[in-house]
Amino acid sequence: MTNQKPIKEIKKGSVRAAIWQNTLEDGRVMYSVTFSRLYKEDGAWRDSASFGRNELPLVARTADAALDWIHAQPSTGNQPPTEE
């Protein structure tokens, strides 16, 4: 197992989006995004994949920022079309 790191992290308040770059066998580049909530417990930073009602607006803004970043990346010309 490798210690792969995200290609980009975006933080909005306590919400973090980690953007991962994956190269497929045919050479296409695809991105995936994971979201986490940061919090401090016993003096140490931790993260969780669950979000409360009040954090959902931050999740939405962070997701928008992640999508904007992905769309701003150079296209390889062979990516499938996205649905909007």
Range of the domain at 56: 8-71
Q: Give me the number of domains the chain comprises.
A: 1
CA nearest 48: which of 35, 29, 30? 35
Q: Tell me the sheet residues that pair with 3.
A: none
In this structure, is residue 54 part of a structural domain? yes
63-74 residue pLDDT tens: 999 999 999 998
In this structure, is residue 30 part of a structural domain? yes
Contact 22, 68 (CB under 8 A): no
Residues 6+ apart with CB under 8 A from 80: 28
In this structure, is residue 40 part of a structural domain? yes
In this structure, is residue 78 part of a structural domain? no
Kindly report the pTM of this predicted structure: 0.81
In this structure, is residue 76 part of a structural domain? no
29-73 residue pLDDT tens: 999 999 999 999 999 999 999 999 999 999 999 999 999 999 999
